[in-house]
Structure 1
Amino acid sequence: MNVQLDSVNRLPAALLPDGRRDLALPALLLALAAVVLLYHATFWSMVELWSRSQTFAHGFMIVPISAWLAWRRRARLAALAHRPSPWGLLLLALLGLAWLLADAANVQVVEQYAATAMLPACVLAILGWPAVRVLAFPLAYLFLAVPFGEIFLEPLIDFTASFTVAALQLTGVPVFRDGNNLSLPTGNWSVVEACSGLRYLIAALALGALYAHLNFRSARRRLAVMAAALLVPILANGVRAYLIVMLGHLSNMRLAVGVDHLVYGWLFFGLVALLLFWIAARWREAPLLRAAQPAPAPV
């Protein structure tokens, strides 16, 4: 009798005779749909920001990518025994309270983070901690869809202006700085929001996190790639600004002063991103080979 019980306990979750397991996925989908419906205004405010701001346009890709990453783990998820967690319900209550406070204070970004965090909380409440661990990265990746980062605009603009002035002085070009305005003998330049590099930084972080997750196993290497994805775009944007100013200066303000200014910027960012991931690929780790599950022994 003990042998039979032990054998049943070792069976994959998909083979356990538990009718509740068949209801787990539909219950989760209904819960996720309910969150999206109840907080549709908050989620719609995110979509509106994606559509009108190039800085946050990457948000349109985050949800499909997260869904694809979760789909890739469907086999591991199917092998789990679903154990609903009361901590998920508590977390949902706390997030609902946070959303109400943010709504009363009109702090939109907190509303958006609270509503987004309710989606992983639903997974925890219905499927339990094992499922959250399996889906940890797809669930965390969803938070990159929240339009956030404008608080870093001023520091990034200041860094870009300082870097450009220092590079110009090192190459013997006279420059006078007044705040974010630069004056050269051939013309004047302004380091504005589009020159801050915030859109490059956010896009690089989203790409770097995805690349690190798919190509590395160790946490140290993943963190190293993500750190590089944060630091390299900031430095590269300074170089980009300097090269554009130099191009305009050497061409007597005939080049890099109009639409080509933005085109050169995106081309330069693309080259930097390709170089970054090409270097990172030299240390990529092969995926772990999973041992085949032995068939249950006959009783």
Structure 2
Amino acid sequence: MEDIKSSNALIWSDRWRLGALSKAELMNIGFASVIIGMLFVLFHLFGNTVDSVNSSSAFQWMISRWQDKISFGADYSHGYLIPFVSLAVIWYKREDFFAAKKQVCYWGLAVVIGALMMHWMGAKMQQTRISLIALIGLLWGIPFYFYGWQVAKLLIFPCAYLIFCVPLNFLDALAGPLQRVATNMGYTMLTDMGIECERIGTQLLSPYFKLNVEAACSGLRSLLAMTALTAVYAYFTQKTFVKKWLLFLMSIPIAVAGNIGRIISIALVSITTGQEFGAGLHHDWSGYVLFTVAISLMVGFGKLLDLNYRELFGKWKEAYLSRS
């Protein structure tokens, strides 16, 4: 029972009861609440000027794009999870936030003004995406202004991570090239395995199966999901800035490799169990194959980056010299 009480004490303390807070702290909480409320009103009531959504809310526009099953928005169905991941990162780093030196920084005010101008420009251009990016800038710039660079530096990743919420329509142009890459690589691997196969456009034809790599199967959705997942994994597992970015950039070929593995699995299952099952039930559930391959590659490459190659070379050299 005492262990439970002690664990609860770590999560909640009497220090956070309203009666234990000082007047200045209560004023800060009230002021922060007013700012959050003003941001919500600004982007909920005056955030969207696009006619395709019957709402002036930028949040409603964004959620409708996540729910879109026809256009590129379907590739952002993971958007619901992104804010919770950002909040989890902030909670994980809470001790660093408390320990950070806090002071007013006017560079943060410049960021706030720039973000507000960006939102105005997005509304005038009827580009809600620009307004949502401006909101991310405000979420970073306001703490930067009130608390200084040390707090802002800790907020760079959780705020930047919110970009994965914003549907960026220009990424839809990647579907065509990804289709061709997946088709060409799938064809090469199948023929190298000795499987009779012919490639016509984005189709893979064989006496045993007929596969059409459509836009929905291009791997764009898995690419966006894997970049979001790899960003978090790299942030927590890699120690240096360069290694974090290396692992993050590797998410692109990793996602492509996972999609190629999915295509190969559909072809092999179609050969062994028939076209109906391979292109039917297995096709619908083959996303698990994709993410199994992709996540395995992500973890494996992360482990390779973590290795101390100088120490390994020293041990290899010592072992080699001892034998000679």
With the shorter chain as reference, the TM-score category is 0.7 to 0.9
Report the equivalent of 2:34. Answer: 30
- Alignment equivalent of 1:56, drawn from 76, 79, 100: 76
Change beyond 3 A, Cα 1:284–1:176: closer
- Alignment equivalent of 1:258, drawn from 253, 274, 280: 280
Q: Is 1:43 matched with 2:59?
A: yes
Cα offset, 1:79, TM superposition: 3.0
- Greater CA drift, 142-151 or 58-67: 142-151
Distance 1:89 1:179 in 2: 53
Cα offset, 1:82, TM superposition: 2.9
1:112-191 to 2 correspondences below 5 Å:
112-148=132-168, 149-191=171-213
Change beyond 3 A, Cα 1:82–1:168: same
**CA-atom RMSD, angstroms?**
2.8
More helix as a share of residues: 2
SS state of the match for residue 82, structure 1?
coil
Conserved? CA contact 1:28–1:123, under 8 Å: no
**Paired amino acid for 1:46:** M
Report the equivalent of 2:93. Answer: 73
Q: Deviations over 1:193-249 (max 9, x none)?
A: 221112222222122111121122211222222123222111221222123123324
**Paired amino acid for 1:230:** I
Change beyond 3 A, Cα 1:186–1:230: same
Distance 2:266 2:59 in 1: 38
Unaligned runs of 5+ in 1: 1-17, 286-299
SS state of the match for residue 82, structure 2?
helix
Conserved? CA contact 2:247–2:301, under 8 Å: no
1:244-255 to 2 correspondences below 5 Å:
244-255=266-277
Identity of aligned residues (%): 21
Conserved? CA contact 1:73–1:135, under 8 Å: no
Cα offset, 1:180, TM superposition: 2.2
Cα offset, 1:261, TM superposition: 0.5
Change beyond 3 A, Cα 1:175–1:58: same
User: What number of residue pairs does the alignment pair up?
Assistant: 268
Distance 2:114 2:192 in 1: 54
Distance 1:109 1:129 in 2: 27
Change beyond 3 A, Cα 1:110–1:207: same
TM-score w.r.t. length of structure 1: 0.77
Conserved? CA contact 1:24–1:127, under 8 Å: no
Conserved? CA contact 1:96–1:114, under 8 Å: yes
SS state of the match for residue 64, structure 1?
helix
Conserved? CA contact 2:262–2:289, under 8 Å: no
Report the equivalent of 1:208. Answer: 230
Cα offset, 1:26, TM superposition: 4.2
Conserved? CA contact 2:238–2:302, under 8 Å: no
SS state of the match for residue 277, structure 2?
coil
- Alignment equivalent of 2:295, drawn from 241, 266, 273: 273
**Paired amino acid for 2:229:** L
Report the equivalent of 2:129. Answer: 109
Distance 2:281 2:123 in 1: 39
Q: Deviations over 1:170-190 (max 9, x none)?
A: 334444444323333344321
Distance 1:276 1:80 in 2: 32
SS state of the match for residue 204, structure 2?
strand
